Amino acid sequence: MTESPVRVRFAPSPTGYLHVGGLRTALYNYLFAKKSSGRFVLRIEDTDRGRYVEGAVQNLIKTLKWAGLDFDEGPGAGGESGPYIQSERTELYRQHAEILLEKKAAYRCFCTPDRLEQMRREQEKQKLTPKYDRTCLRLSEDEIRENLNSGKPFVVRMKVPDDVNVSFNDIIRGDVEFHSRQIDDQVLIKSDGYPTYHLANVVDDHHMRISHVIRGEEWLSSTPKHVLLYRAFGWEMPQFAHLPLLLNPDRSKLSKRQGDVAVEDYQQKGYLKEALINFIALLGWNPGDEREIFSLAELEKEFSLERVNKAGAVFNVEKLNWLNFQHLRSKPDGEVLAMLKEHLAKSGMDPAKFGDDYLLRVITAMRERVSFIKDYTEKSPYFFRAPNEYDPAIIKKRWKPQSAEYLSKLGEQFAKLASPQKQEYEDSLHRTAESLKVGNGELIHPLRLAVSGMGEGPGLFDILVILGKEETIRRIGSAIDRIKPAAA
């Protein structure tokens, strides 16, 4: 008997942005498919029309493509199991609901929303788990026919078997068991004719030949309902794997109340897709050793569901920032240059004004100091415009009454240099300090303030080489005119 091919699916609801937890689910499905030479399917579960958000499907697809998670089948990609949007498959669900009704594995429920709400309130008063009380299961055939003939609205409910254990094996959690008394007679078809998640999910997974259902832990309690549906239809079940919850640092469930949860938020903040994918891969999975930095291609080779943990994974932004730094510093100069030029243009600066050679020198100087592309303009704005203000704390600490005089002499010496490189600037500063009979620091610190407006950054002489002699001398003159020693 040959093993069936691996087919997995990511099945989001188009209710707005893509949650980082959703991206992790998509990533693990993608990685499992790649490792197994299988197929990664995108299916849009849009049967909850009340929560549907216009444009959300396009946004989901765009975000997955940005992250590098290309699906093999799905909207726009085609495939033999389409359509891949559930609202286009409603007739299929209705047909399968009829099959369940014929098998007495489901029944019509005519209870009004008011009656159901009253029932729930009574159960809560009695400290009972809210469950449908099966009033409509006891209707006679004549009563059902009369209700249907009169056009009374109804839903179709699953009939959960009495007093049975429902068990299944979860790749991550091992054997899981529920008793049927814990399971409600779930609505399968709503009164508007649309299926609920449970019916549509099972029908689609079967018809799309899904071999492994990899999804978040929040769906674990729904799985026995799905197991019962597979049994009722007489279908072979896929293998299940329920991923651990994503947690805030205080170990509460990750939510927008405590920070960003949309992938788009991290895109807009300048996180690299490589860093975000690397970070999310480690939220619940580990390679079994100390490695932490992975490319998508490396993850495709390394990933296994057996190494996914049961315990919730803490979303640590500091770790994400560190990974962003690591991935940015390892990028080729040309790639960083393209991103920096795009950032400058978005910031209202013309990249052509600086030239590629200049920008590449800035990249070399700042590479070990930036975690984001925006850091180039935020941490070293002086490479892109002369300082129009100077750090008051550095003025107070480093700018002495004689600093203007010393820098004036230094500017005169720099003017004598032909095409100075790092060593020439350094030698010239040393000679000037000797002639003034002062330590090098008496010139170095005010010079850094003059050319950058700041008290820290890459090597001072590297900054001078990048700015060039004329701009350096111009900035020295401007600082002499504008900076006044802090009052003692």
Kindly report, residue by residue over 379-409, the tens digit of the pLDDT. 999 999 999 999 999 999 999 999 999 999 9
Backbone angles phi, psi at 176, to 5 degrees: -125, 140
pLDDT score for 171: 97
d(CA 296, CA 68): 8
pLDDT score for 260: 74
Contacts of 425 (CB under 8 A, 6+ apart): 414, 417, 461, 464, 465
- Nearest CA to 85 among 56, 126, 55, 42? 42
pLDDT score for 258: 62
pLDDT score for 1: 38
pLDDT score for 97: 98
Q: CB burial class (10 A; 0-12, 13-18, 19+) of residue 96?
A: buried
382 and 443 Cβ atoms separated by less than 8 Å:
no
Backbone angles phi, psi at 45, to 5 degrees: -100, 90
| pLDDT interval class at 437 (50, 70, 90) | very high
pLDDT digits (tens, 9 = 90+) for 107-163: 999 999 999 999 999 999 999 989 999 999 999 999 999 999 999 999 999 999 999
Catalytic residue positions, numbered = 256
Residue with tokens 């490189």: 421
d(CA 177, CA 267): 40
Contacts of 45 (CB under 8 A, 6+ apart): 11, 12, 13, 86, 197, 200, 201
pLDDT score for 4: 72
The CB density around residue 56, as the number of other CB atoms within 10 Å, is 19
d(CA 17, CA 21): 11
pLDDT score for 3: 60
Residues 268-286 have a mean pLDDT of 97
**How many CA atoms lie less than 13 Å away from 357 in the CB half-sphere?**
4
pLDDT score for 2: 46
| pLDDT interval class at 52 (50, 70, 90) | confident
| pLDDT interval class at 49 (50, 70, 90) | confident
Backbone angles phi, psi at 487, to 5 degrees: -65, 140
Q: What Cα–Cα distance (Å) separates residue 406 from each residue in 155, 282, 392, 417?
A: 87, 54, 20, 18
pLDDT at position 487 over 70: no
Residues 327-342 have a mean pLDDT of 98
71-75 LR contacts (CB < 8 Å, sep 24+): 71/10, 71/30, 71/40, 71/41, 71/42, 72/33, 72/39, 72/40, 72/41, 73/39, 73/40, 73/41, 73/42, 74/41, 74/42, 74/43, 74/44, 75/42, 75/44
| CA 98 to mean position of chain CA atoms | 40
What does pLDDT average to over the chain?
A: 95
Instruction: Report percent pLDDT > 70 for the chain.
Output: 98
pLDDT score for 229: 98
pLDDT digits (tens, 9 = 90+) for 169-227: 999 999 999 999 999 999 999 999 999 999 999 999 999 999 999 999 999 999 999 99
pLDDT digits (tens, 9 = 90+) for 63-86: 999 999 999 999 999 999 999 999
428 and 389 Cβ atoms separated by less than 8 Å:
no
- Nearest CA to 200 among 111, 104, 113, 91? 91
All structural domains of the chain, each given as residue ranges with its CATH number in brackets, are 89-243 (3.90.800.10), 331-385 (1.10.8), 387-488 (1.10.10.350)
Backbone angles phi, psi at 184, to 5 degrees: -75, 155
410 and 469 Cβ atoms separated by less than 8 Å:
no
Instruction: Report percent pLDDT > 90 for the chain.
Output: 93
pTM assigned to the model: 0.93
